[in-house]
Amino acid sequence: MIHFVLLISRQGKVRLTKWYSPYSQKERSKVIRELGRIILTRAPKLCNFVEWRGYKVVYRRYASLYFCACIDPDDNELEILEIIHHYVEILDRYFGSVCELDLIFNFHKAYYILDEILIAGELQESSKKNVARLVAAQDALVETAKEQTGSTSNMIAQATK
User: What are the residues binding other proteins (CB under 8 A)?
Assistant: 1, 14-20, 22, 24-25, 28-29, 32, 43, 45-51, 72, 74, 76-79, 81-82, 104-105, 107-108, 111-112, 115, 119-120, 122-126, 133-134, 137-138, 141-142, 145-146, 149-150, 155-156, 158-160
State the DSSP code for 12: S
Question: How far from 74 is each of 54, 56, 67, CA to CA, in Å?
Answer: 11, 9, 20
Q: Which is nearer to other proteins, 63 or 124 (CB)?
A: 124
Smallest separation (angstroms) from other proteins to the CB of 146: 6
Specify the DSSP element, H or E, that contains 112.
helix 107-117
Rounded-to-integer distance, Cα 30 and Cα 124, Å: 29
Smallest separation (angstroms) from other proteins to the CB of 158: 8
Smallest separation (angstroms) from other proteins to the CB of 52: 11
Q: Which is nearer to other proteins, 63 or 142 (CB)?
A: 142
Smallest separation (angstroms) from other proteins to the CB of 77: 6
Q: Which is nearer to other proteins, 96 or 108 (CB)?
A: 108
Q: Which is nearer to other proteins, 48 or 65 (CB)?
A: 48
Classified as helix, coil or strand, 134 is helix
What number of other Cβ atoms are within 10 A of residue 28's Cβ? 15
Residue 62, amino acid? Y
The 65-71 sheet, strands edge to edge: 14-19, 2-9, 65-71, 55-62, 49-52
